[in-house]
Amino acid sequence: MYDVIIIGGGIVGCALARELSRYDLRLALIEKEVEVGFGTSKTNSGIIHAGHHASPDTLKGKFEWTGNQMWDDLARDLKFGFNRIGELLLAQKSEDLQYLEKLKKQGEGRGVPGLEIWPPKRIQKEEPNLSHTILQALHAPTAAVVNPYEACFGLIECAQQNGAELFCGYPVLSICRNDDGFSIQTPQQKFHCRIILNAAGVFADRVAAMVGADDFEIFTRKGEEYMLDRRLQGIVTRLIFPTPTATSKGVLIIPTVDGPIMVGPTAEDVDNREDLSTSFAGASKIFETVRQYCPAISERDTITEFAGLRAVADSNDFVIGPSPVKGFFNVAGIQSPGLTAAPAIAVYVTEMLRSEGLKLAEKSAWKADIDGPPHFARMTKQERKAAILKDPAYGHLVCRCESVTEAEVLYAIRHGARTLDGVKFRVRAGMGRCQGGFCTTRVMDLLSHTLGMPLTEITKRGHGSEICTPRQDKLSVGDGV
């Protein structure tokens, strides 16, 4: 019998696991994907919002600035990429100017420091590659960029070292309410617990419906993102936001924490909760839009593209709180600024559980930090030499584009990677210009050898994404090929 089971291993589920691991609880997280962070979090824009965007009369507004302030400590403890680069929110039309003033006042009321309205001359000085037709921009230095999947891995690893249990590849089939809590049926086994935290992302309303707690509905909104060649690194140095629309913060220019520029997302409501396709129409919209405020950006510089699904609740706000079913709590509808808000949501939900009667006794030996992955590409020549002398695997280059070594790939596997994407998101093997054209077979070989799996069972991101299949025929001597 678990005290608490979290359903969903995205950024919010992993943040909940780490926060609850502080206490003397039997705790588990169940995730349907083969690794945590492989749903919405994997395809997130990776933006920590400055703290002034969300309306103050919403849960989004309640947690945005609080969450923003927690990311420095998380990045320090969990060793993931994080950089406070600031943002510019652009006014391209005269009617946008009033919106900038509104956001500035909203942020100042919330305590967000450093907000300034920049005139065209200041914009051109600070970001010379932006269009000279921009009227004004709101500068917010507190905005940041992060690798959301790295954050998921760090959060869950910290939770596990403090006693939390993780079950990946365990889709929830049904939930039954009984006298002492709940029974959760998965294909592999049945789990029993007193409390469920439903953090199942785009499927949260379906999980809630299993116990009759579906007093909300989730709609899926697809966003396409496009990663640009590293040669454009530095074309802008801050996050660039247009004035938002009713459904989206618009098409952004994002200097990612690792350097390459990303543009997107689109915002398209879709019925299929597993539709991760990209489109010519999406690409055309993104590049046509982004060239209005940064003319030098071109679709010809795209090295990869992907799409993610946002969980939009029918209230257009976060759905956080106890449900009509005792012991079942929803943490749902976590769209933007959900990444920013995640650590604050975790603290809030923990205190909510305390107020609902869960006994929370702090552990005396809770460990906040982890070692974190090595990064050969960031080492000095002296550090590289010392690393190779200590472990010769650092002398074997696996990914040329990102300078990832065999030692780093083996680290990723030891720390939970079971797929090509699991390795890619932990240590960047396959993220460069060739997108795995050089390193895929080598990473597959290391996964196969280390995990004792045949190459035919190695996948990109789980079942259905196998890279190679067994031969169905046997050639005899003399057969043509």
Active site residues: 49
The dihedral through the CA atoms of 477, 478, 480, 481 has a sign that is positive
Ramachandran bin of 269, using left for φ above 0, alpha for ψ from -120 to 50, beta for the remaining angles:
beta
Separation between Cα atoms, residue 151 and residue 27, nearest integer Å = 20
The two three-digit tokens of residue 66, written as one number: 């609080």
DSSP assignment of 152-163, as one string?
HHHHHHHHHHTT
Please check whether residue 268 is in contact with residue 159, taking contact to mean a CB–CB distance below 8 angstroms.
Answer: no
Please check whether residue 32 is in contact with residue 46, taking contact to mean a CB–CB distance below 8 angstroms.
Answer: no
Under 8 Å CB-to-CB from 242, ≥6 apart: which residues? 89, 90, 92, 249, 250, 251, 252, 289, 293
- CA angle (180, 186, 188) in 5-degree steps: 115
Where b means 16+ CB within 10 Å and e means fewer, 417-442 reads bbbbbbbbbbbbbbbbeeebebbbeb
Residue 23's DSSP bridge partners are 362
